[in-house]
Amino acid sequence: MKNIARPLASLCAIGFGVIWLAAAVTPAAPAANPVPAWSQNQQAAAAKYLDNRMVEWWDKSKTLKTGGGEVKCVSCHTAVPYAWARAALRRAQHVTEPTSHEERILEIVRRRVEYAGDDQPYYDHTEDKKVESRGVEAVINAVILTSRDAEASSTDTASSPATTAAITRMWEVQRSDGAWDWLDFGLEPYEAPDAAFAGATMAALAAGSPTGRRASDTDKGRAGLDHLRAYVHASLATQRLFNRTWALLASSRLDGLLTKTERDAILHDLDQHQRPDGGWSLPDLGTWRWKKQEAPFAPPGTTDTDLLAASDGYATGLVVYAMRQAGRTAADSVAVRKGQQWLIDHQIPERPDDPAWAPWRAHSLNFDREHGGPKGEPWRRMFMSDLATSFAVLALL
C-alpha cells in the first residue's frame, strides 16, 4: 500500500491539497461591485470547466470503503472548491437546484459523517497518515455541511443532524494546541507541515458559520473555539502570507479570530505584493518550505520557473475574495478593482481540444507538470487550475 499511496498524494485531502481549499464557505453577500461586467458566456465557460473536472474526478480519484459500501474521496483542490464556486455560479444565474456533482459531494460527506470505526481513512498506509487523514476529513466534512446549510437557509441557524455530528467530530479530534493534524507529503501549498495553519482557518470558516456556531454551543465546542483562536493568535506572526490570507478570510466568519490590527496588517502586506498588472503570484505568498525548517528551501522536483513567475488565477482569486469578504469593494479599493480586472482580462477562451485548458491557470509549486513525464499527465496538471478557476469565480461574483 505504501508504494501506491504516495503517488496518490494530493488526490484526496486538502492540502485549502486543499483537499486543502475555495476558501471558504458560502460567501457573504458582497457590497456593490462596479467592476466591468463578467459576461454570462464567461460564467458559463467556468461552470463547464468545473463540471467536466468533477466528471474526471469521479472517474479517477481514490475510492474509500465506507459504511459497507464505497465512496470517492473529497479533495481540497478540486471537489471542495467546486462546491463553493459552483453554488456561487448557480446563484448568479438564478438556479436553485444543485448540480449532480454538488449532490454527490454532499451525499459522500453525510455518509462519512456517520462515523464507523472500520471506515477507510483517506490514507491508511502508516499510522501517521491515518491520524493526519482523521484531522483533515473532520474539518472538510464540517466545511462542506455548514456551507450547504448556509445556502439552504440564510436565516435558519438550526444545525442539521449531519452538521451537528460533523462539528462535534471536528472538536473531538482537535489537537491540544488548537489546530488539527494535517496531511504532510512535503507538497505545497496544502500537504506540507505549514498547511496545518491553513487547515485551522478552514475549521474557523465552518465554526463561524451560523449552523457551525449553533452546533459549537457546547462545553467542548466553546473550549475548542477558545483553543482555535489562541492558536491563530499565537502562530500568525510566523505564517507565510498565503496562510495569513486564509486567516483574513476566516476572520470574516469567526469573531475574535483576528484583531483589527492583525487584519489591517495582512491587507497592507497583500497590497504590497500586488503585481503592476493587478494580479498576485502564488510564489510571492510564500515562503514555501516543503519539509525543511531552515533555508535553503527547494521543491521535491524541478518546477517551471517562468510559469511560476507570472501572476496566476489562484493567488489572485484567493486574495481578491479574501479582501472582499473582509469588507473591501471594487468601489473603494484600487487593489480589489485591479485584481478583478486582471481576472476578467486573463480568463482563457475555451479550447475544447486542449487538455491544458482552464478558464484560469495556476501551476504546481512542487513539480513541472506542464511538459510531460510521470508528474505531468493532464489530470494532475490541472489540480492547481481547479483551485484557480474556483477562486476566480468567488472573487468575481
Residue 216 has pLDDT above 70, yes or no: yes
| Predicted confidence (pLDDT) per residue in 312-350, tens digit | 999 999 999 999 999 999 999 999 999 999 999 999 999
**How high is the pLDDT of residue 373?**
81
| Predicted confidence (pLDDT) per residue in 251-301, tens digit | 999 999 999 999 999 999 999 999 999 999 999 999 999 998 889 999 999
State the pLDDT confidence band at 17, using cuts at 50, 70 and 90.
very low
CA angle 81, 320, 325 (to 5 degrees): 80
Residue 119 has pLDDT above 50, yes or no: yes
State the pLDDT confidence band at 159, using cuts at 50, 70 and 90.
confident
Percentage of the chain modeled with pLDDT above 70: 89
State the pLDDT confidence band at 29, using cuts at 50, 70 and 90.
very low
Residue 34 has pLDDT above 80, yes or no: no
Phi, psi torsion values for 69, nearest 5 degrees: -130, -150
How far apart CA 391 and CA 128 sit, in angstroms, is 31
How far apart CA 95 and CA 86 sit, in angstroms, is 11
149 Cβ neighbours under 8 A, 6+ residues apart? 159, 160, 163, 209, 210, 211
| Predicted confidence (pLDDT) per residue in 336-385, tens digit | 999 999 999 999 999 988 989 999 999 999 999 998 888 888 889 999 99
| Predicted confidence (pLDDT) per residue in 173-201, tens digit | 999 999 999 999 999 999 999 999 999 99
**How high is the pLDDT of residue 36?**
63
**How high is the pLDDT of residue 4?**
36
> Residue 98 belongs to what domain range?
2-396
Residue 2 has pLDDT above 80, yes or no: no
- Across the chain, mean pLDDT equals 90
Range 85-99 average pLDDT: 95
**How high is the pLDDT of residue 21?**
41
Specify the CATH number for the domain of residue 37. 1.50.10
Tally of structural domains, the chain: 1
**How high is the pLDDT of residue 76?**
87
Residue whose C-alpha is closest to residue 163's, from 214, 108, 224: 214
Range of weakest confidence among 90-99, 155-164, 212-221 = 155-164
State the pLDDT confidence band at 152, using cuts at 50, 70 and 90.
low
Range of weakest confidence among 73-82, 220-229, 230-239 = 73-82
Residue 132 contacts residue 184 (beta carbons within 8 Å) = yes
**How high is the pLDDT of residue 7?**
37
Residue 234 contacts residue 299 (beta carbons within 8 Å) = no
**How high is the pLDDT of residue 116?**
64
